Amino acid sequence: MKYVWMDGKLIPEKEAVIPILTHALHYGTSVFEGIRAYWSSDSNNLYIFRARDHYIRFRNSAKIMGIRINYSIDELIKATVELLKANEVHENVYIRPITFVSASTVNLDIRNLETSTAIIAIPFGHYLEPKGVRAKVVSWLRVHNSMFPMKAKVGGIYVNSVIALLDAKVSGFDEAILLNRDGYVAEGSGENIFIVKDGVLYTPPTYDSILEGITRDTVITIARDLGGLTVIEKRITREELYTADEVFFTGGTAAEVTPVVNIDGRVIGNGEPGPVTLKVRSYYMDVVHGKVSKYMNWLMPVY
């Protein structure tokens, strides 16, 4: 897009470049978010979905990592709205806020190092095939909470996702599922995971080395409206994946709610997106497009 917001200013995207010795490039010292904004043709407006919750997670990631963000949550929300207006966005868009250690140094002590914050808007279609993906439970484990706080969305930790996804892709699958150190299901490379069994939804608990996804939280909240669909947070085994009636991924970029129709060559359900997944997805799409009045407080209008 034409403009990027960087450290308080809107600048042309081509000018938003960083020096070669930037600390974050070498050591992954960045925290970031992935936020969606949806265009609603009904109200002729663009809505940022759960902006405040994303920026709260952003601030918490930074706090955990000891990285300073020089802006308040309100300033970041305001900057995001300004950015979308400046780019005259009238379509669905992905928003990537990032704060990174911008000092040019090889020193690992980040306490007094300078940080920069940027917000970038990116036109975005589907990240995963909405008709359903084939996933592989890879042998790489999810980094455990005792090794790194997985609640924090930190740039460097994504090498764990990258190597997991590479394994899945070179083996001919679309996405990776990572187990945690104890052998239970953790999450996808960039998504949380749910299974459906006998009409009940199950998802791994947040203390089990996963990112506390905002889409995950949204699904848990809105599921109640769907004929009393219950969600239970519990540890999930690999065999529970194989024998589930339905499996789906949730994530801000990851096609929102994406059916998983095959895992390790086992067909899940009848190999088609299941009825509960489709019901959850369709309601989720209504919520993010501002069609469900009780959740309008999750939507921030841009215009």
Chain positions contacting ligand PY5, by CB under 6 A: 34, 161, 187, 190-192, 211, 213-216, 250-254
Q: Of 43 and 64, which has the nearer Cβ to ligand PY5? A: 64
Q: How far is the CB of 219 from ligand PY5 (least distance, A)?
A: 9
Are residues 201 and 216 in contact, defined by beta-carbon separation less than 8 angstroms?
no
Minimum separation from the CB atom of position 62 to ligand PY5 (A): 16
9 carries an active-site annotation: no
Q: How far apart are CA 103 and CA 222, in angstroms?
A: 43
Give CA–CA dist 183/275, Å, rounded.
29
Q: What is the smallest separation between the CB atom of 198 and ligand PY5, expressed in angstroms?
A: 25
Catalytic residue among 9, 151, 153, 169: 153
In 50-92, the DSSP E strands lie at: none
CA quadruple 95, 97, 103, 107: dihedral sign: negative
Return contacts of 262-269, CB within 8 angstroms, 24+ apart. 262/132, 262/134, 262/135, 263/134, 263/135, 263/136, 263/137, 263/177, 264/135, 264/136, 264/137, 266/242, 268/241, 268/242, 268/244, 269/244, 269/245
CA distance 273 to 234: 23
CA 222 to CA 95: how far, in whole Å? 23
CB closer to ligand PY5 out of 26 and 96: 96
Minimum CB separation from ligand PY5 for residue 114, in Å?
25
Helix (H) or strand (E) holding 231: strand 231-233
Minimal CB distance to ligand PY5: which residue? Answer: 34
Residue 231, beta-bridge partner list? 201
Q: Please, which residue, 187 or 246, has the CB nearer to ligand PY5?
A: 187
Shortest distance in whole angstroms from residue 233 CB to ligand PY5: 14
Nearer to ligand PY5 (CB atom), residue 22 or residue 189: 189
CA distances for 224 relative to 34, 111, 227, 234, angstroms: 25, 44, 7, 17
Quick one: 213 or 290, whose CB is closer to ligand PY5?
A: 213
Catalytically annotated residues: 153
